Chains A and B, each alone.
Chain A
Amino acid sequence: MSEYSARDADDVSVGIVEKKFYTFGGGVNQSLVLESGAKIGPVTVAYETYGQLSPAKDNAVLVLHALSGDCHVAGYYSKADTKPGWWENMVGPGKGIDTDRYFVICASILGSCGGTTGPSSTNPATGQPYGLDFPVVTVGDMVAVQRKLLDHLGVEKLLAVVGGSLGGMQALEWSLRYPDRVAGVIALATTMRHSALAIAFNEIARQAIMTDPNWNKGHYYGGPKPDTGLAVARMIGHVTYLSDEAMRRKFGRRLQGKEAFSFQFDIDFEVESYLRHQGNKFVARFDANSFLYVTKAADYFDLERRGGAGSAVEAFATARSRFLVVSFTSDWLYPTYQSKELVRALKKNGLNVSFCEIKADCGHDAFLIPNKRLSSLIGNFLEQTRDESRF
């Protein structure tokens, strides 16, 4: 996702930011109990914050990142840093999520490799990286960790939780786990339950990693890494984030630096070159085991099952927040009908919900790309939530 992160067109930014860390659960009997029943501790959370928490503590907005993102949402780490955070176009002074008005928090998710405890972290029991000894985590576990961080920061209530894709799943989970702590939920390009199509793509990506000889059942730290497998996994993922239309527009059948077919298995087409480039770029910044854990968490996500009787309507019976649900016309990973199912469940619970399907040809990734309509929707929804907020 971070291939979209680019300097703001008007060069407006939160400026220099700092990645911070908070560790909990290190003491005896203080480990975090996961949904699977497994325990883990200590847990370190990497996070960033922008803007100021108001004296009434009523302006906190929690941003939730997707599969390959991290807590670096906006700004730069130094003056020499050329690449801002992944949602630089949305988060900053005067932007959709206005850091002049809101206190913005984002934490790297549990199991990821963005500084929060994950499979590449040291297992206190062995002194070695966890590898596959890291317990399988869920979206609910990610949210439980975020809640711990908020307690630490002294943020009791959230004006809103905002996320796209896997981040949207976390946002929905927040509204169910801690209904009284969240006034507004913004769920972008997301779903209540991972579809067979989405699970299938994740499984192909995981197989690419696990069949790489370097993967070595997850014990590759300190040796050669399963870079080929991870790069292929990224290539698959990347295709699902685009759309037929976007790929036609971006690449068509254009050849890469040649006039005719090579009649070999080198790169012929631009699209091949692009995917290989994306794959190779990704291995430099992402851990293969984290990819396995985080995609598994997404696959397990199913609010209907969580609702008990297999009903999405019942799942939201305890929700109290107001909702903004946004889908994108060309998103084939989490198509509009899935957002509509979510909206239907919210309506049937008498919850306050707004829904908009934004016309965009860039597929699932549309929520990451600068879009005035999306910024306006989010900005106005936050403002209205603040006006109506019960806090």
Chain B
Amino acid sequence: MKADFKSADTSPAMRFDLSVIASWIEPGSKVLDLGCGEGDLLHCLKQQKGVRGTGIEMVEAKVLRCIEKGLSVLQGDITEEVQDYAENTFDYVILSQTLQQVYAPAQLLNSLLTIGRRVVVSFPNFTHWKNRWQLVWQGRAPLSKQLPFEWYNTPNIRVIAIIDFRRFVKKMGWRIVRETAINTDHHDHHGNVVRLLPNLRATYGIFMLAKKKEKK
């Protein structure tokens, strides 16, 4: 796995969480990246792993950047766009740093687990110790590199903690195939894996999910 990390990390602009996600994707697989931005992850996966990828992105300028990179991309809203695919169209569906902005996360993840064999989700860990510190000792809503918004301009409508997410997955009857927690700054491609007390020390949680029973 370490070698994979290294190879995925050669792209200078790539976020650390995306490098981790890239290391989880098998070569030659079919990938859907939701909220793919300018297509950094898909481009890297295509170049280094021969992945056949599609991105979904809302912003016209970012869609243009993706097509410049030779990627296939659809401009649109992720909750609408994911409805049109047949079951198990993709090997992996990736939802990075978007879950906290989704109105109906259970419904969305369920759709994703239908159109993909595996779903990879990353989200900012709200219970990082710095956030707790601000809440308890300063009495203020947390502001951090991962959660840089004020209450009046945040697009984030969900507060997610790593342990809460685990409980949610269990309750929904899904399976965690793989998980990791990382400590990084948003937009920084450096970071490290947090093994000890991740719910307290990690800035992001990354999970790979599957439905309980494998459909053959």
Q: Which A residues touch B54, using CB under 8 A? A: 352
Q: Mark B55-73, 1 if CB is under 8 A from A, else 0.
A: 0000010011011101111
Partner of B85, one of A347, A356, A383: A347
User: What residues of B have a CB within 8 angstroms of the CB of A354 in the complex?
Assistant: 63, 66-67, 71-74
Q: With an 8 A cutoff between CB atoms, is A236 at the interface?
A: no
Judged by a CB distance under 8 angstroms, whether A244 is at the interface is no
Is B84 positioned at the interface, with any CB of A under 8 Å from its CB?
Answer: yes
B76 touches A380 (CB 8 A): no
A377 CB within 8 Å of chain B: yes
Nearest Cβ on chain B to A346's Cβ, whole angstroms? 9
**Which of B66, B68, B74 contacts A343 (CB under 8 A)?**
B74
B29 CB–A CB distance under 8 Å: no
Q: A348-B85, A380-B67 are in contact. Are A356 and B75 (CB under 8 A)?
A: yes
A376 close to B68 (CB less than 8 A): yes
- Give the chain A neighbours of B68 by CB distance below 8 A: 376, 380
**Residue contact A356 to B60, C-beta cutoff 8 Å:** yes
Given A377-B67, A380-B68, does the pair A353, B85 have CB atoms closer than 8 Å? Answer: no
A residues less than 8 Å from B72 (CB atoms): 322, 352-354
Q: Tell me if B86 is interfacial: C-beta within 8 Å of chain A.
A: yes
CB distance from A179 to the nearest CB of B (A): 18
> Does residue B107 face the partner (Cβ distance < 8 Å to A)?
no
Q: Considering the chains assembled together, what is the distance between the CA atoms of A299 and B71 in angstroms?
A: 34
With both chains docked as a complex, state the minimum distance between the C-beta of A389 and any C-beta of chain B, in angstroms: 12
Asked whether A376 lies within 8 Å of B75 as measured between CB atoms, the reply is no
Q: Is B67 a contact of A356 with CB atoms below 8 Å?
A: yes
List chain B residues, Cβ under 8 A from A377: 64, 67
Which B residues are in CB contact (< 8 Å) with A353?
Answer: 72, 74
Closest chain B residue, CB of each to CB of A345: B84
| From A322, A352, A355, A380, contact of B75 by CB (8 A) | A355
- Number of chain A residues whose Cβ lies closer than 8 Å to a Cβ of chain B: 24
The answer, yes or no, to whether A357 is at the interface (CB within 8 Å) is yes
A357-B70 contact, Cβ under 8 Å, with A340-B76, A348-B85: no
- Nearest Cβ in chain B — how far from A159, in angstroms? 15
> Residue A373 at the B interface, CB < 8 A?
yes
Q: Mark B34-62, 1 if CB is under 8 A from A, else 0.
A: 00000000000000000000100000100
**Closest residue of chain A to B89, judged by CB?**
A350
- Chain A residues lying within 8 Å of B85, measured Cβ to Cβ, are 347-348
Min Cβ gap A331→B in Å is 15
Within 8 A of B (CB), among A369-388: 373, 376-377, 380-381, 383-384, 387
Q: Point out which of B54, B67, B89 has the most chain A C-beta atoms below 10 A from its C-beta.
A: B67
**B129-162 interface code vs A (CB 8 A; 1 in, 0 out):** 0000000000000000000000000000000000
- In the complex, whether A358 has a CB less than 8 A from a CB of chain B is yes
B178 vs chain A, min Cβ distance (A): 27
Q: Is the CB of B73 within 8 A of A347?
A: no
Chain A, residue nearest B82 (CB) = A347
Residues of A within 8 A of B67 (CB): 324, 354, 356, 376-377, 380-381, 384
Identify B60's interface contact among A350, A359, A387, CB under 8 A: A359
- Complex contact A355–B76 (CB within 8 A): yes
What distance in Å separates the Cβ of B179 from its nearest Cβ neighbour in chain A? 30
A322 / chain B contacts, CB cutoff of 8 Å: 72
Residue A254 is within 8 A (CB to CB) of chain B in the complex: no
**How distant is the Cα of A356 from the Cα of B59 in the complex, in angstroms?**
9
Contact A344 B75 (CB under 8 A): no
Q: Find the A residue at minimum CB distance from B83.
A: A344
Question: Please, how many angstroms separate the alpha-carbon atoms of A148 and B69 in the complex?
Answer: 35
CA distance A373 to B85 in the complex (A): 28
Chain B: minimal CB distance from A118 (Å): 37
Instruction: Say which residue of A355, A358, A376, A384 sits within 8 Å of B74 (CB atoms).
Output: A355
Per-position 1/0 for A181-220, Cβ under 8 A of B: 0000000000000000000000000000000000000000
B64's partner among A352, A355, A373, A383 (CB-CB below 8 A) is A373
CA distance A353 to B85 in the complex (A): 12
CA distance A348 to B84 in the complex (A): 6
Whether B86 and A350, one on each chain, are in contact in the complex, defined by CB atoms closer than 8 angstroms, is yes
> Which residues from A are CB-within-8-Å of B60?
356-359, 373
The complex places the Cα of A65 from the Cα of B54 at a distance, in Å, of 30
- For A350, list chain B residues within 8 Å (CB): 86, 89
Q: A356 and B86: CB pair below 8 A?
A: no
B64 x A387 contact (CB < 8 A): no
Residues of chain B whose beta carbon lies under 8 Å from any beta carbon of chain A: 54, 60, 63-64, 66-68, 70-76, 84-86, 89
**A to B CB contacts below 8 Å, 11 in the list:** A322-B72, A347-B85, A348-B84, A348-B85, A352-B72, A354-B71, A354-B74, A355-B76, A357-B75, A380-B67, A380-B70
Which 10 pairs of residues, A with B, have the shortest CB-CB distance? A384-B70, A347-B84, A355-B74, A344-B84, A356-B63, A354-B72, A380-B67, A356-B75, A380-B68, A354-B73
